[in-house]
Amino acid sequence: MPLTGEYAPSTSQWARDQAEKIEATNGAEGYELHGMRVIVLTSVGAKTGLLRKTALMRVEHDGEYAVVGSLGGAPKNPVWVYNLRKQPHVELQDGAEKHDYLAREVTDEERAVWWERSVAAFPNYAGYQKKTDRLIPVFVLTRL
Ligand SMILES: C[C@H](OP(=O)(O)OC[C@@H](O)[C@@H](O)[C@@H](O)Cn1c2nc(=O)[nH]c(=O)c-2cc2ccc(O)cc21)C(=O)N[C@@H](CCC(=O)N[C@@H](CCC(=O)O)C(=O)O)C(=O)O
């Protein structure tokens, strides 16, 4: 059952532009960053209940995805992390495919496996984790 509600654009213009381009072209444009694949996560705002769309690096394994709250190694989590913690029902668009998923924050060994997959997909994640004391949150998305 797709998410419904009013869309509220991100206040990060570059990220908003990329998410909107991927969605507007049904995945035909905007799906890369530094030559690596980008997906669009739709989440429900934890405070506003508005629909938020976030461009994120594509980390996929056997039909599941990981989304990584790196925010370039900033000291604080991106706020979409709090959206997923409150409402784990999300949508993910990968290219022209868009489906509903349940997001689960992973820890310990499971997180280690997905962290390795994430760094393999986007090596910058390793440097981002070195930049910050916060443990970068990782969520695994399983198809609903
Ligand atoms: C800028 C901010 O967005 P954010 O959720 O903090 O996310 C910051 C970034 O993670 C986001 O811009 C990403 O798209 C950046 N980004 C990546 N960010 C990552 O963290 N990881 C990635 O792998 C990643 C890849 C990526 C690729 C391409 C691209 O264009 C951007 C990429 C924002 O939009 N804030 C809104 C609020 C957004 C929101 O969800 N509000 C909630 C409240 C949440 C709360 O505070 O509890 C609500 O509506 O209720 C605002 O200030 O009004």
Per-residue pLDDT of 1-29, as tens digits, reads 889 899 999 999 999 999 999 999 999 99
pLDDT at residue 119 in the model: 98
User: Closest ligand 1 atom to the C-alpha of 67?
Assistant: 23
Q: Which residues contact residue 55 at a Cβ distance below 8 angstroms, ignoring those fewer than 6 apart?
A: 15, 18, 19, 22, 30, 33, 38, 39, 40
What is the token pair recorded at 80?
């979409």
Q: What is the pLDDT of residues 53-109, one digit of tens each?
A: 999 999 999 999 999 999 999 999 999 999 999 999 999 999 999 999 999 999 999
pLDDT at residue 2 in the model: 85
pLDDT at residue 1 in the model: 80
pLDDT at residue 10 in the model: 93
Q: What is the pLDDT of residues 116-133, one digit of tens each?
A: 999 999 999 999 999 999
Report the predicted TM-score, pTM, of the whole model to 2 decimal places: 0.97
Q: Return the residue whose CA atom lies nearest to atom 30 of ligand 1.
A: 15
pLDDT at residue 31 in the model: 93
Q: Is 56 in the pocket of ligand 1 (CB under 6 A)?
A: yes
Contact 83, 44 (CB under 8 A): yes
CA 59 to chain centre: 9
Q: Is 84 in the pocket of ligand 1 (CB under 6 A)?
A: no
pLDDT at residue 78 in the model: 98
Cα(78) to centroid(ligand 1), Å: 5
Ligand 1 binding pocket mutation candidate from 56, 81, 117 (most atoms within 8 A of CB): 56
